[in-house]
Chains A and B, each alone.
Chain A
Amino acid sequence: MTGVIMRKLSRYIPFPVFALLILWSSVSVAQENIAVTTKSEGEARLKRVTADTFGVELILGTTIQNQDRIRTGDPGFGVIVFVDDKSQLKIRSNSEIEILGDAERRAALIAKRVRMENGKLKAEISPQGQGGFEIITPTSVASVKGTTFWIVVDVAGGDRVFVQSGQVLLLNSASGDSVLIAADETGSSTPDGQVQTMPTATISGEVDSYTSNEQVILRGVTLISGELTQNITGPGPLTVLLNDLTAFEDTEPAPGDRVTVNGQVSESGDFVANIVEVGDGENRLEIDFEDESGNRKKLKINYR
């Protein structure tokens, strides 16, 4: 149908004018890159605003434009960086987000908003100017000016926001109530209009054992930040409970890893994890070889 219209138009409009019209129509849909993918693993796909399906694989270097949607499977992971201020979104498995970014070249900023249906992501947001940064979920709107935080979105259960630095304003869309979540605090917003905060703490320890989706047993636990209502530090062991809201910063832990865990002590006395971050544990081995002739070769090995 479109082709027929174009042919008829071209019959009545001189070719140069027609070509210009085509040119200008393509101009009007020209899209600007607002972010780029700097890491991806597993199932991670992209849907352009002009496409009907998630037909683009999200790979290293994939550019993100306004209104693009990203969906991750299980396992699936992607990191995107905004081109204006290097703000990052780390999108965890089973998540789906829509990136809304109005690029204001003259002001050199992108007004960033993320519409998130479900899933988990970590946002490392550089200090924002006029535009700010918002995550819009079915339950809430989280607004920040510059901070690092996790958000876990669940349509049925509501949203949880774990703030590592800075502050996040969490507004419940149903009730209009809001709370300001500071560092080492967790905010929650539920479909029934409730919004509240609770303190969290960050501890560190060595993994003794790990059971997927259930628990991590730590030894040699120390308190990194925040306050605990009871003493859980010491040689251990300490059982850290995991649940659907727990997010892993990068990889899942293995025995011997050193981890930091953000969470809070439950009423039963267990430590419930919000975020589990496995330390890099990277070591570098350097070996110098020298043969009889004096030829030297340096071998460097990085291992985790």
Chain B
Amino acid sequence: MNILLSDQDDSRKYNYRQIFHGILGFILLIMAAPIFGQGEILHSPAQTAIPGQDLDLELMVTGTGWTVDEVRMLYNRANHQGFVETQMANNLGYYTGTIPAEFISEEGVKYLFVAELSNGTRLSYPEQDAHAHPVYVQATEVGTDQQQDSPGEAQESRTRERPPDAQLILAPEPNVTIPRDEALIAISLFQVADVDTASVVLLVDGVNVTRRAQVTANLVTYRPETILPGTHTVRMQFNDAAGRRYSPINWRFQVMGEEIAEGPRFELNGEMYVENAYANIKEQVENANKLGVALKGEYGAYEVTGNAYLTSKENPNVQPRNRYTLQIQSPRVQAEVGDFYPRLTRLGMWGKRIRGFNTRLHLSPFHVQVIYGRSQRAIPGVLEDLTATEINQGYTQGINGYSFGRRVIGVRPSVGNGQNFELGFSFISARDDTTTVLNKIADLEDETLLWKGITPKDNIVVGSDLLLAFDNRRIMWESSAALSWKNNNIFGGALSEGDTIQLGTDFSLPVADFPILPSAYQRIFVINNNVQPFLPVPMDVTRDPADTSKYLVHFNPWQFNDYSSLAYQTDVTFQYFSNSVMFRYRRVGPAYYSFTNPYLNRDVAGFEISDRIRLWRNKLYLTLKYENYTEGISKEEDSRLSASNLSAGISLYPGQGLPTVNVRTSGYHRSNALDSVRVLPGGSQDLVVDNRIDNRTTSNVVTISQPLSLFGAEHDARIHIMRSRKMDGIQRPSTYPDVGYSMNVTSFEFQSRFHFPLTTRVAVSVNRNQTLGNDVDLQTLSVGGVYKLFQNNLIVNGNLRLARNLGGDKFNSTGLESSIQYRFLTNHGLTASFQAMRLSEPPDEYTNLLYRLRYSYAFK
């Protein structure tokens, strides 16, 4: 009998059944995630984004049955690789986050959410394969007027029309002078259709006063307690119920009296909350307390922001869950202390959390950014218990399950304004500190331990990046390159004078013959025989014909594609004639590592080209994209994997009252050049190794959203259909696990907004999946509503959710959740939420309960 093996690494052979069961278990776990009451993330995807403006997003986690530890938002420009990660703020049960304006460009933006639950599982949005298929949001306006077909067309097409400002501003009239005691800011939304009052943000002189404003469906008023003489600015931002942002209203007015001339004032505002959550899930009880504080102070051009998040789930034996951040901004200096997600270079450090400090100094045209901190903290692990006999016999005590504290340094000096020209150089160092684990272990008698877990590592990355832009940024060229060294084990430190450098199995070099002394540089990087690569420059090593005991080394520094630890990427974009064409080439060597950008795929090279075409006065968008990458560029030709993806999308935004349609189709092909299996003779039976890969994945997604006006209320009907299928193109024996799958998701959602403050939502979804012979036929029904009373100060939320799986592992569940949010005495908020779910998994039955109480206080 033959047994099939997958042998990416011949030295490690796994039993097929173990692999099969492992994969099956994993997939079942993934598939079961939404089934077993893990709930869902409720979010209305943003329909549009305006380049150069922040994009505010909001979501609610529902039906989880577990408390939510944190929700993270991952985002990036639509055409860029990877994501930037940030934590979302919990605001009275809703999680809110903002994608900074710098990520909202002409090409649009992509984002996804990940919610970490207290039971260690995750929810994501989009639910299926969110990293590969995030939410894509088209940009609404082009960057420059010249690029528009005609002025204002982009806004007409995808931002909501709004009446002229004069119709909206009730008081004070723009540019009028009013007495101090008549300062009332009033904006009418009566003529503006479909406003999401929760999205209203009112800024007076740049200060967010929304919490002290009265916001109703048709009127926003704010009466400043005190207002100084002089000129004042007002800005109001708001979205419609579908998340489409209206153009902000801006105006200014004057207050009579002596104008402020005595200088800026210090203003402080903030919010804090405490929360208690209780969960009883499948008879496992869990309790969690949280405390959050957010402060913002402004003094003229200086701004201080502080955030703290403390949870009783903080555990020194895992990576930190508490978060602290203090930010200070001034025109020339920006500094962050605490937890932050720095973006130094795309290839080197991009969005990974670091605890420490991050400073940026701007002395135009020169800039420098310096980062110091820890990307992971030390975890003490578990010491083995030795018996007295073992101690007497001289056994060394072992330790396992530890994690070293990792110190990170990043420096990037640059020159240029970032608009048309910028040249930067970067140095990044990340090193495990071996003493940090020992310091965490109390009463350690003997520091000589047998480290049975991971080895301490060291990593440096040096790089440069260049931005050039021409013709009002219609032509942009962005390139970056980085070279890395990684040391897989720094125990023992750097090589010193008497050591030998081992380069390969049959080539060694005395340190004394090496141009530098490694130990002299160990403050920067620990150089020993575990460095990968030892010499990054491509070279040929041959025996000296004259003396065969010697080697000749010939360096080939200009053979860039032979640098194993080099990564580079170049992007060129052209924006002409309603087209936005982007070409990218990227190559990441097999030995390229950056501990501060773990999301980058390595050992890959390829290109992608995309075009985004605006048609019919920006009412129709076509997106075409082709990418072709070779994975495993360091491997033999046969083992390299060719991956190509062709995708096309159509987005139709015909205008107010008409349906919006999004259609996206893609075909993904992965193959290698292997055309036969290998048979390895075994003891009692031969082993057949089948590494042939030739599979195609097709995905088609259609989303249609139609606004309706029926029975005196406004509605949005949305249908979402997703079909995805992966097929193996190779005829294999029936004993080989089928790598194919099919995924069919159909959902229908109907949201209604009544003229009184009630919003209801009915959603039905059917999810039929087939993977590795496991069938899932999940049907869910969700009915809920939100009612707002007393000018949004009291919000009542209720939701009923029914789910059943008619597929393999049958179950059904009935969940009821409800919450009340009450804002009182202007600054105080109270939220109580309750969830109950009856879960039947024959023969077992459970009643899961969860409640959450939260008090918040906002002040200024």
Contacts and interface: CB of A to CB of B under 8 A. Distances in A.
Interface of A: 23, 26-27, 30, 32-33, 36-39, 60-61, 63, 81, 83-86, 103, 105-106, 108, 110, 282, 297-302
B610 interface: no
Contacts of B171: 36, 38, 81
A86 B787 contact: no
Contacts of A38: 170-171, 182, 184, 186
Interface in B529-552: none
Contacts of A81: 170-171, 186
Contacts of A302: 177, 229, 256-257
Interface string B253-266: 00011110100000
A21 to B, nearest CB: 13
Most chain B CB inside 10 Å of its own CB: which residue of A27, A108, A300:
A300
Contacts of B186: 36, 38, 61, 81
B272 to A, nearest CB: 28
Contacts of B758: 27
Contacts of A299: 258-259, 261
Nearest to B191: A108
A110 B191 CA distance: 10
Contacts of B166: 86
B259 A33 contact: no
Interface string B145-183: 000000000000000000000110011000001000111
Contacts of B222: 61
B757 interface: yes
Contact of A300 (B188, B189, B216, B258): B258
A23 B786 CA distance: 11
A83 B188 contact: yes
B789 A84 contact: no
A288 B525 CA distance: 61
Contacts of B756: 27, 30
A86 B223 contact: no
Interface string B704-732: 00000100000000000000000000000
Interface string B207-248: 000000010111101110000011000000000000000000
A108 B219 CA distance: 13
B214 A298 contact: no
A137 B167 CA distance: 29
Interface of B: 166-167, 170-171, 177, 181-184, 186, 188-191, 214, 216-219, 221-223, 229-230, 256-259, 261, 709, 754-758, 787, 789, 796
Contacts of B755: 32, 105
* A-B residue pairs, 4 tightest by C-beta: A83-B188, A83-B190, A30-B756, A302-B256
B836 to A, nearest CB: 13
Nearest to A64: B219
A60 B182 contact: yes
A105 B184 contact: no
Contacts of B191: 84, 108
B221 A61 contact: yes
Given A23-B787, A36-B219, A103 B190 contact: yes
Nearest to A60: B184
A301 B218 CA distance: 37
A39 B189 CA distance: 20
Given A86-B166, A103-B218, 7 more contacts: A27-B754, A33-B218, A37-B184, A63-B221, A105-B190, A299-B261, A302-B256
Contacts of A63: 214, 216, 219, 221
A85 B188 CA distance: 9
Nearest to B255: A302
A61 B216 CA distance: 13
B221 A86 contact: no
A83 B170 contact: yes
Contacts of A106: 709
A84 B258 CA distance: 35
B262 to A, nearest CB: 8
A84 B221 contact: no
A110 B230 CA distance: 35
A297 B259 CA distance: 10
Nearest to B788: A30
6 contacts: A38-B170, A61-B214, A108-B191, A282-B177, A299-B259, A300-B258
A85 B218 contact: no
Given A61-B214, A85-B167, A302-B257, A39 B182 contact: yes
A84 B167 CA distance: 8
A300 B254 CA distance: 12
A115 B214 CA distance: 28
A63 B709 CA distance: 28
A30 B757 contact: yes
B219 A33 contact: yes
A33 to B, nearest CB: 5
A141 to B, nearest CB: 25
A37 B223 CA distance: 11
Contacts of B218: 32-33, 83, 103, 105
Contact of A297 (B170, B183, B261): B261
Given A30-B757, A38-B171, A298 B219 contact: no
A30 B787 CA distance: 12
Contacts of A282: 177
Given A27-B756, A300-B259, A60 B223 contact: yes
A301 B229 CA distance: 10
A232 B217 CA distance: 54
Contacts of B190: 83-84, 103, 105, 108, 110
Given A33-B218, A106-B709, A84 B257 contact: no
A94 B186 CA distance: 27
B789 A26 contact: yes
Contact of B167 (A23, A37, A86, A103): A86
Contacts of B259: 298-300
Nearest to A280: B177
A32 B222 CA distance: 18
Given A26-B789, A27-B756, A299-B258, A61 B188 contact: no
Contacts of B221: 36, 61, 63
A75 B259 CA distance: 31
Given A33-B216, A105-B190, A301 B258 contact: yes
A285 B247 CA distance: 37
Contacts of A105: 190, 218, 755
A106 B216 CA distance: 17
Given A30-B757, A84-B188, A106-B709, A36 B170 contact: yes
Contacts of B214: 61, 63
B249 to A, nearest CB: 14
B217 A32 contact: yes
A75 to B, nearest CB: 15
A106 B709 CA distance: 9
Contacts of A83: 170, 188-190, 218-219
B301 to A, nearest CB: 18
A298 B261 contact: yes
Contacts of B184: 36-38, 60-61
A110 B256 CA distance: 33
Contacts of B754: 27
A26 B214 CA distance: 20
Nearest to A63: B219
A10 B367 CA distance: 70
A84 B192 CA distance: 10
A84 B189 CA distance: 8
A78 to B, nearest CB: 12
Contacts of A32: 217-218, 755
User: For A86, A103, A110, which residue has the most chain B Cβ atoms within 10 angstroms?
Assistant: A86
A81 B755 CA distance: 21
Nearest to A29: B756
Contacts of A84: 188, 190-191
A30 B756 CA distance: 7
With most chain A CB atoms within 10 A of its CB, the pick from B222, B230, B258, B757 is B258
